[in-house]
Structure 1
Amino acid sequence: MTGPTAVQVWWARLGDGHAGLLALLDPVERARYDATVDAADRGRFLVGCALSRLALGELLGLPPADVPLRRVCPRCGGPHGKVELAVPRESEYADLDFSVTHSGGVVGVAVCRGAAVGLDAEEYAAGLDVGTAAPIALSDTELAALHALRPAAGRQAAFLRTWTRKEAVLKALGVGLGVSPRALVVSAPDAPPAVLTWPERLGPRPDLALADMTVDGAHPASVALVGACGVRLDQRDASAAVAAYAGGV
């Protein structure tokens, strides 16, 4: 039996962003950065790009600024699809995959080889309307279990844990919300993470592996692997590395 697949998960924070990181952006990323109106969203995008290149650069033995990335939408061909490592098919790194997430003040990048990876983190928010969000994301069975939770104050945490698992799987598949999350049923929030029901429209169910995390004691997060039988997590706090990057100077 194949053992668990190693996954590096690098974490940084919105506050780690600074002007020196702009040197890491390619022209497409710089255009997106400049076009983003909200300052926090702009900062999360910048840190996410920098963190991706720092993590991948270590694995590839390249300076972060030399890590080749591309974004191509599978539907229209535009430069806004899932970010990928731009290496030839015959490259020794062609089996390397990564996934980026950001929520609130947290930014994360998961990297692995030999499997497709998806990473999602969420933020507890006083203004989150679970009653509105849950029916869109949860199956009838999951929704009934959520409503049965007592006290009701624990429902947000349960919902976010379930949501991070689903979103991580959908991101690993590269389908995002093109598939209804209601069709993907996962285990109860207090049970080991697993996919219980697989959407028929996605075809045969592949090997899947999930792992849960909590970042900074407040952000539920999950990582999913498609094409693996287990996850061996290696979490790294990269805030200092991001904050110290000097733009190649």
Structure 2
Amino acid sequence: MAVARGLAPAEPPPWLLLADDDRARLRAFRREADARRFLTGRVLVAEHAREVLGDSAGRLRFTRRLVPAGEEKPRYSPAPGGRWASPLPDVSISHSGDVVVVAFCADADIGVDVEHHAAFEGLDETALRVVLTAAERQAARTRADLAAAFTAKEAVLKAVGWGLAVDPLRVEVRDGRVTRFDAPQARLVTLSRLDVPGEASAALAAAARV
């Protein structure tokens, strides 16, 4: 796992290999801060790949995939014309404010999510009902509790590959465990809380590969 407190510049460094899709997304950002968060995540992914895989990291590309059901999370794939013998590591990226978190795993599908507590200031019951079950709302007494509940749920949904494209009310997390997951994408998932800087909460989920 890698955590960045502080964002990369809005222009990609010369050594960073970006897919055409990523370059298009980068150009589409209207706010510089959004571009910097996006690039910080991609830089962390590339730095980890070079650290772990050495020169062979150049044979991988980190790309997203669109399918009829929606957009899957970005994944590693071999460069055009290339092959990769061993299972590719799974990657998940999340950012909130100036905190960017990237998680990696070679033997499970993973999801990570981070949220600043301030994002949950003033949310009314109607808004909370969209993402948290009655039991989750009842257990959350502070902004930090709400952030922890949301990040755990989002991490689970990212681990199975879809994020909030799946109705978050189909997942219930209590006391750090997934107690209900009744979506077609459901798999066995384990959860961990992460320590991140500032007034923020983060969670990491690992899902058994199918």
TM-score (norm. length: structure 2): 0.85
State whether residues 99 and 117 of structure 1, in contact with CA within 8 Å, keep that contact through their aligned partners in structure 2: yes
Q: State yes or no: 1:219 paired with 2:206.
A: no
Unaligned runs of 5+ in 2: none
**Pairs within 5 Å for 1:68-87:** 68-75=61-68, 81-87=72-78
Are 1:196 and 2:176 an aligned pair? no
Identify if the C-alpha distance between structure 1 residues 15 and 87 changes in structure 2 by more than 3 Å, giving closer, same or farther. Answer: closer
Shift of 1:213: 1.2
Q: Is the 8 A contact 2:75 2:91 kept in 1?
A: yes
In structure 2, what is the Cα distance between the partners aligned to 1:47 and 1:63? 22
- Say which SS state the counterpart of residue 202 (structure 1) adopts: coil
Aligned residues: 205
Q: Taking structure 1 as reference, are residues 30 and 127 closer, same or farther at Cα in structure 2, changes over 3 Å only?
A: same
CA distance in 2, matches of 1:114, 1:102: 24
For residues 154-193 of structure 1, the aligned pairs below 5 Å read 155-187=142-174, 191=175, 193=176
Matched, 1:34 2:17: no
What secondary structure does 1:16 align onto? coil
- Counterparts of 1:27 and 1:126 in 2: how far apart (Å)? 32
> Structure 1 residue aligned with 2:102, among 109, 132, 136?
109
Question: Is the CA contact 1:130–1:156 (under 8 Å) kept in the aligned structure 2?
Answer: no
Q: Which has the larger radius of gyration?
A: 1
- Mapped partners of 2:69, 2:178: distance in 1: 31
Query: Structure 1 residues 128 and 60, CA, compared in 2 at 3 Å: closer, same or farther?
Result: same
- With normalisation by structure 1, the TM-score equals 0.73
Where does residue 121 of structure 1 map in the other structure? 114
**Larger strand share, 1 or 2:** 2
- 2:108 maps to 1:137: no
Provide the residue aligned with 1:6 in structure 2: none
Instruction: Specify which structure has the bigger relative contact order, considering alpha-carbon pairs within 8 angstroms and separated by 6 or more residues.
Output: 1
Unaligned runs of 5+ residues in structure 1 are 1-8, 150-154, 229-249
Query: CA contact under 8 A between 1:22 and 1:30: conserved in structure 2?
Result: no
TM-superposed CA distance for 1:90, in Å, is 7.0
Cα offset, 1:76, TM superposition: 7.5
Residue pair 2:45, 2:102 contacting (<8 A) in 1 also: yes
Q: 1:66 to 1:219 in 2, by over 3 A?
A: farther
**Where does residue 188 of structure 2 map in the other structure?**
207
Please tell me the root mean square deviation across aligned C-alpha atoms, in Å.
2.6
